[in-house]
Structure 1
Amino acid sequence: MTRKNNLRLTALNLMLLSAFSWQAHADTLFVHANAYTLNAKQQLQKFDAMLVDDKGRVLATGLQKSLQKKNPQAKLVDLGGKTVLPGLIDAHGHVFGLGTAASQLSLRATNNLTEALAAISLYAKQATQQQWILGGEWNQAIWKLDRFPNAKELDSVVADKPVWLRRVDGHAGWANSKALALAGITKSTPDPAGGKIERDEQGEASGILVDSAMDILEKVIPPQNDAELRVALDAALKQLRSVGLTTVHDAGVDAQSDKLFREYATQGRLTTRVYGMIGGVDQFFDVVSAAGPLKNLADDRYALRAVKLYSDGALGSRGAALLAPYSDAPHTKGLLFVQDKQMQSMVQKAAAKGYQVNVHAIGDAGNRQVIDALASIPKQHDAKILRHRIEHAQVLELSDIPRVAKANIIPSMQPTHATSDMNMAEDRVGKDRIKGAYAWRSFLKQGSKIPCGSDFPIENPNPFWGIYSAVTRQDHQQMPVKGWYPEQAMTVQEAFRCFTLDAAYAGHQEKIVGSLEKGKWADFIVIDQDIFTIPSKDIYKTVVLQTWQAGKQVYTK
């Protein structure tokens, strides 16, 4: 062989060696971890090291000594012996709502109407550039007010500009007289289908609008522009990654939010994966569904393959549809938003295009309507194939709970709703119907998967608050002492599964997220305490120290 050929071979060998060396160094070995994951059999497994490839997928988990020996060239990242979990998933939230709420007035911390009015007055004096005073999160049950607040009370602190404050559950709003006038709401304005205008003794609009009646007023509020929406999305993503949420299911995507989600995903700025539900089956659905469900954009950062519909309102505002009258308001049974035939038409329209159908249902009448409607979908598009869901599944007639499993419907539930609602839920439905309310154990017992969420910003998005509520059924002061209907509580492992594998399954994503197994994205979090060994009373205090998406760190405390 000539010297020239030898030189060529040497150069080639060096190139191959360099390529091999680069490939070897491309893998990252995370070590010194107190790590947990569930496997495909839903068994809890521990490991102290995890190998991740350069694309951000898990190659292996196991013992540090063994993995380090087999992968001597891997870059080492020491996790300091801290507890590591798969990234948590919130199966029901409102991303832009969370970001927007950060800049609006919150009355969540107020203990009575007097405090609320003082907070509104102070906010209005500081918000001199705002055309409207917006926000909410008020709760008349916390205020121990045996009625809704009214417009005159709002007028006493802000009369010169419109005020619109949504109730904590988002299903009722409180307006002042200026806002009512701008919306054209008068004594003669009729209640819309699926909504109610609360009225005083003279029949005048009191200032409280329930469910679809809110639309009358909200149509006159100036919409957020593109810049405001970007600020809201940035604020939401910052908060989500700080509490360890690596995936969220957004319950109500419209054209504007879809546009920004796609943009942020392709630019690598969507630091929490978003599984989107199209809000309704109207014009936007008709446009976007022409291309069919979007199952994966930009390495699974964004998907749009579900539809969100509404059956009824909320329990706190008595908008949830009940089969019998409210125990504390015998004159009303709440409201169904649409008739049965229309609900069936909507779910069939969405399913026929290949979309998962997720329907909000709170009351037992609302839940029954949804079960009947989802059961009406032709077999090729039914819940066994598309994994249709009931969002909330809060109050069910006991005989309807087994029907959920029989129809393969997924009950998507929010544990913190129970601990927020326990101050009024039994008042609303009485001691008999409460047996079918927030009934997590009943669903788990029959084999239902429960994807858990928070319904943020209605509740705090922190998933450890959700796990705590699921396990203890107590508030953060550990009340009630034994928990509220503790027989329906989950174990820590069950609650963990609901925020990981079950939530992933509910988004058709159990093969890519939800656990730290070979081939899945290396979405994980590092936390300050071991939730599987600490007293359950301390779970909600858990602090996220680091959040990683696809092997890249997106948050550090």
Structure 2
Amino acid sequence: MMRMGRVAVAVSGLALLAGQMAAQAGAAPTLLVNALIHTEDTAHPTASALAWDESGILLAVGETADLTRRYPGAVTVDAGGAPVVPGLIDAHGHVQEEGAALLTADLSGSTSKAEILTRLKAQAAKLPPGDWLQGWGWDQNRWPDKAFPTAADLDAAFPDRPVRLERIDGHAVWVNSAALRIMAARPKAKSLDGTWQPQGGRIVRQGKKATGVLIDNAMDLVAEALPPRTDAQIRQNYTLAFAEMVSLGLTGTHEPGIDLQSFRVLQDMAAKGEVPVRLYTMADGDHEALAWLCTQNGGYTDPSGRVRMRAVKLYIDGALGSRGARLLRPYSDDPGNSGIYVTNPADYPRIVAKAKGCHLQVATHAIGDGGNRLVLDTYAKVLGADVKSDHRWRVEHAQILTLDDIPRFAQLGVIASMQPTHATSDMPWAEKRLGHDRLAGAYAWQSLRRTGARLALGSDFPVEKVNPMLGLYAAVTRQDLAGQPPGGWLPDQNLTREEALAGFTRDAAYAGFMEGEVGALKPGLRADFVILSGDPLTVPPRQIADIKPLSTWVDGKKVYEAGK
């Protein structure tokens, strides 16, 4: 793994040399001038101008007057004094699922079942008769009774059309009776009613009867009944998501857990110039994609450099909102429940060891303190004497930690891949789930940083909004958009503006082994940057959330311009 890091730096040096030779040979570079540039280069944190060659490699970063003299024949882009930051990287975003969500009923923010039915009826009117009606984003914590829904809540409006609705966290689905009938009729289907439960999942029942809510691995029972996605649908999903991402200033995303079919579509899109951002993808568990990745000698990068895979995404537990996150002690508001191990703890070390043997990065979803402890224990055991290697293994979310486990991230060289808006979304009900004492290690960004751990920040879209400015705002304030609670929720864990911006730039790049290419603006790196309507490091805190990209650039090419 150390060898891979040195190669990345060497490639950047060669790219810089090639760019300088091209400039000397007469190829006209491009200049961005009159900008307020936050470079994320600690040696030279601010500048007013950038110069890059036709391949998108930065030749120089400095002041407008100096670079204008050095490159007299350059094509010039005048920023008009606007702030500029390196291209923003979301370290955990489900790109294909974001595109799919844009094509289904949006249930996010709904405050009652009646409101959900209204939105579903509008979506159903757009569909052919008999097609599955799908939606995404419901959250029972927003409803008056805060209880899980049932199939009966949907049946009067949709007695015959199958309905599948995904919870906001992606860890539970709600279906109607028509869907339950289709599921039960499948060959070799397990009985939904009774006492059987799938490994790593839960069928919610009243007595022995399935209610219509399925959690974590139980969701597979619904997925197996759906028509499979076609390559054309996958391509459409990515295309929609890419357009949204660049419009919000994202030049890269780490996509956790995709199958081989989706990766093949991405390879084809990249070959045709249809991928405007950088995707650092992760194979979905111990399946076909991981088997293929193990043949790639430590990872794959397509010729364009836009699509990569060198990591595997695993799950150890579920989500806090659906009470699937694995806790060391039972939930405070559900005393008989300690959550779920989505992956059997007996199988998990074998899969981690397999990934290590393939020289891959391991990234594991862990939310509860019990899930996080099992992941850290397993990483320590499997890494063994290699714990000091440049493995950069990750924990995705790392939301609830014991105080004893917080220092272990830095000790093991494990990256905490965290999502600031999860804290502000969960804060109205997190204490009810956990009790007060467990909040000491909840969403503990500063506690992790103080021990030396790296934080790579993201959003977990479509669970949260794609907009990275919402993530920066949440990281700095730990408040909702109405400014509540005053002073922020557990404010000792607030990040500074500089720490938050680093989490979406250079630290996210590091988490994807890409710090030799992106994440900062300095000679030899790629000309990925965003021109913004406001300065996230100086505007009043609430205004951070309102900052918009004026334009987004990847490899020195404009991939988005506001109003066009």
Name the structure 2 match of 1:389: 394
Superposed displacement of residue 450, structure 1? 0.2
Q: Amino acid of the residue matched to residue 489 of structure 2? A: W
1:464 to 456, 464, 469: 469
Q: Amino acid of the residue matched to residue 32 of structure 1? A: N
> Aligned pair in 2 of structure 1 residues 81, 234: CA closer, same or farther (>3 Å)?
same
CA distance in 2, matches of 1:212, 1:226: 24
- Is residue 124–residue 158 contact of structure 1 (8 Å, CA) maintained in 2? no
CA distance in 2, matches of 1:465, 1:346: 35
Name the structure 2 match of 1:79: 79
Name the structure 2 match of 1:151: 151
Residue 212 (str. 1) matches residue 220 (str. 2): no
Per-residue Cα deviation, 1:401-427 (whole angstroms, up to 9, x for no partner): 111211111110000000011111111
CA distance in 2, matches of 1:325, 1:84: 47
Name the structure 2 match of 1:311: 316
> Aligned pair in 2 of structure 1 residues 112, 384: CA closer, same or farther (>3 Å)?
farther
Residue 332 (str. 1) matches residue 337 (str. 2): yes
Name the structure 1 match of 2:197: 191
Name the structure 1 match of 2:100: 100
- Other structure's SS at 2:237 match: helix
CA distance in 2, matches of 1:194, 1:231: 31
Per-residue Cα deviation, 1:22-76 (whole angstroms, up to 9, x for no partner): 943421111111111111xx46711111110111011111111111111112221
CA distance in 2, matches of 1:362, 1:268: 37
- Other structure's SS at 2:354 match: helix
Residue 302 (str. 1) matches residue 311 (str. 2): no
Residue 62 (str. 1) matches residue 62 (str. 2): yes
CA distance in 2, matches of 1:195, 1:310: 12
Name the structure 2 match of 1:169: 169
Name the structure 2 match of 1:7: none
Superposed displacement of residue 294, structure 1? 2.9
Q: Amino acid of the residue matched to residue 195 of structure 1? A: G
> Aligned pair in 2 of structure 1 residues 378, 491: CA closer, same or farther (>3 Å)?
closer
Name the structure 2 match of 1:483: 488
- Is residue 88–residue 504 contact of structure 2 (8 Å, CA) maintained in 1? yes
- Structure 1: segments with no counterpart, 5+ residues: 1-18
Name the structure 1 match of 2:426: 421
Superposed displacement of residue 190, structure 1? 1.3
Superposed displacement of residue 189, structure 1? 6.2
Superposed displacement of residue 20, structure 1? 8.5
Stretch of structure 1 that moved more, 205-214 or 79-88:
79-88
> Aligned pair in 2 of structure 1 residues 82, 493: CA closer, same or farther (>3 Å)?
same
Name the structure 2 match of 1:435: 440
2:238 to 233, 242, 247: 233
> Aligned pair in 2 of structure 1 residues 194, 530: CA closer, same or farther (>3 Å)?
same
- Is residue 351–residue 382 contact of structure 1 (8 Å, CA) maintained in 2? no
Superposed displacement of residue 114, structure 1? 1.8
Name the structure 2 match of 1:137: 137
- Other structure's SS at 1:474 match: coil
Structure number with larger C-alpha Rg: 1
- Is residue 24–residue 74 contact of structure 1 (8 Å, CA) maintained in 2? no
Q: Amino acid of the residue matched to residue 457 of structure 1? A: P
Name the structure 2 match of 1:35: 37
Name the structure 1 match of 2:367: 362
Per-residue Cα deviation, 1:60-118 (whole angstroms, up to 9, x for no partner): 11111111111112221112221111000000011110111101011113122221122
CA distance in 1, matches of 2:23, 2:152: 74
CA distance in 2, matches of 1:392, 1:20: 44
Name the structure 2 match of 1:223: 228
Residue 545 (str. 1) matches residue 550 (str. 2): yes
> Aligned pair in 2 of structure 1 residues 420, 439: CA closer, same or farther (>3 Å)?
same
CA distance in 1, matches of 2:306, 2:455: 23
Superposed displacement of residue 532, structure 1? 1.2
2:248 to 243, 246, 266: 243
Name the structure 2 match of 1:13: none
Q: Amino acid of the residue matched to residue 134 of structure 1? A: Q
CA distance in 2, matches of 1:442, 1:347: 27
Name the structure 1 match of 2:123: 123
CA distance in 1, matches of 2:465, 2:335: 32
Per-residue Cα deviation, 1:118-138 (whole angstroms, up to 9, x for no partner): 222332233235610112200
> Aligned pair in 2 of structure 1 residues 163, 487: CA closer, same or farther (>3 Å)?
same
Stretch of structure 1 that moved more, 379-388 or 336-345:
379-388
CA distance in 1, matches of 2:546, 2:46: 22
> Aligned pair in 2 of structure 1 residues 150, 365: CA closer, same or farther (>3 Å)?
same
Q: Amino acid of the residue matched to residue 183 of structure 1? A: M
Superposed displacement of residue 382, structure 1? 4.3
- Is residue 107–residue 137 contact of structure 1 (8 Å, CA) maintained in 2? yes
Q: How many residues align?
A: 536
Name the structure 2 match of 1:179: 179
> Aligned pair in 2 of structure 1 residues 56, 538: CA closer, same or farther (>3 Å)?
same
TM-score (norm 1): 0.93
2:353 to 342, 348, 356: 348
CA distance in 2, matches of 1:116, 1:177: 17
CA distance in 1, matches of 2:491, 2:424: 11
2:529 to 524, 532, 535: 524
Stretch of structure 1 that moved more, 309-318 or 343-352:
343-352
Q: Amino acid of the residue matched to residue 420 of structure 2? A: P
Superposed displacement of residue 258, structure 1? 0.7
Stretch of structure 1 that moved more, 257-266 or 447-456:
257-266
Q: Amino acid of the residue matched to residue 472 of structure 1? A: T
Residue 398 (str. 1) matches residue 403 (str. 2): yes
> Aligned pair in 2 of structure 1 residues 478, 61: CA closer, same or farther (>3 Å)?
same
Q: Give RMSD over aligned pairs.
A: 1.7
Per-residue Cα deviation, 1:442-500 (whole angstroms, up to 9, x for no partner): 01111111000101111111111000000000111111111111110001100000000
Superposed displacement of residue 158, structure 1? 1.1
Q: Amino acid of the residue matched to residue 120 of structure 1? A: L
Name the structure 2 match of 1:5: none
Stretch of structure 1 that moved more, 383-392 or 230-239:
383-392
CA distance in 1, matches of 2:46, 2:145: 49
- Other structure's SS at 1:451 match: strand
- Is residue 289–residue 353 contact of structure 1 (8 Å, CA) maintained in 2? yes
- Structure 2: segments with no counterpart, 5+ residues: 1-20, 185-190
> Aligned pair in 2 of structure 1 residues 20, 178: CA closer, same or farther (>3 Å)?
closer
